[in-house]
Amino acid sequence: MTTSVLITGTSSGIGRATALRLARRPELTVYATARRPETLADLAGAGARVLPLDVTDETSMAKAVAAVEAEHGAVGVLVNNAGYGEYGTIEETGLDGVRRQFETNVFGLSRMTQLVLPGMRRAGRGRIVNVGSMGGRIVFPAGGYYHASKYAVEALTDALRFEAAPFGVKVSLIEPGLIRTSFGDTAAHTLAGSAAPAGPYAALNVAADRQMAQSYGSKILSASPETVAKAIEHAVTASRPRTRYVVTPAAKALIHTRRLLGARIFDAYLRMQFKAAA
């Protein structure tokens, strides 16, 4: 009997790469999901099963979990991957957009977790892999609301790991650095639309936009989605998965630098970086 793996947000980027990688493993039955399942034809061709799933819609989430449970009894592995970045300064960013982001990045992840856990507890086993970000450990200007959503994922994952352990459920957190997906373009788009060109934060927004473009375009600072998919594969299949997987050398260096230097020195580092980008 194969283990079922339900992955959210597989229409592009990390989710797509993960579905393709896991679908190659004969012991796994991969359920690739997206709001528009017609975008997943290539994943179906690679052996994944395709389901519609919108993590901001209760009915959609419940139906997807029920479909997997009807065939397997329980969801064997949940990979909470769906997410995006709403960028802009704290003062200027519209809170409607922030709420939409939290619905996807935090509440959708939480509700999917709630839906699969009863089945996992009955089965006495299961795995939940949350895709967070290095942005849950460090903060860059003009990204506060996105970082807040990923800090929330950190907290939820740490609590869940302890709570679910007695029931045989293992929980891991994936913390990617800069990954070459459409995420950077989405973040830049929301940043551009968050403030007036002549507003008080105009110079900061321009610098942040350029910094993102340069960083995501760097093959030294960024990595491919397949790099993250490999870490997720380990979390899904290893007998003793890690609690955290920090992905990319640059992410590891930045997290340790922030921890070692403290807030004031890290702020000084940021001022240098954003001045160079302006």
Is there a catalytic annotation at residue 87?
A: no
Contact 207, 145 (CB under 8 A): no
* Beta-carbon-side half-sphere exposure of residue 24 (alpha carbons within 13 Å): 8
Cα 261 to Cα 161: distance, rounded to the nearest angstrom: 29
Three-state DSSP string of 10-74: CCCHHHHHHHHHHHCCCCEEEEEEECCHHHHHHHHHCCCEEEECCCCCHHHHHHHHHHHHHHHCC
Distance CA(142)–CA(86), nearest Å, equals 9
Could you give the strand order of the β-sheet that contains 244-247, starting from the edge strand earlier in sequence?
A: 49-52, 28-34, 3-7, 77-80, 126-131, 169-176, 244-247
* Sign of the dihedral defined by the CA atoms of residues 155, 89, 228, 185, in that order: positive
Is-contact 35 59, C-beta < 8 A?
no
Pick the catalytic residue from 31, 146, 151, 245: 146
Cα distance between residue 32 and residue 48, in whole Å: 6
What is the number of other CB atoms lying within 10 angstroms of the CB of residue 51? 20
CA nearest to 8, candidates 71, 56, 59, 74: 56
Give the torsion sign (CA, 221, 227, 229, 233). negative
Catalytic amino acids? 146
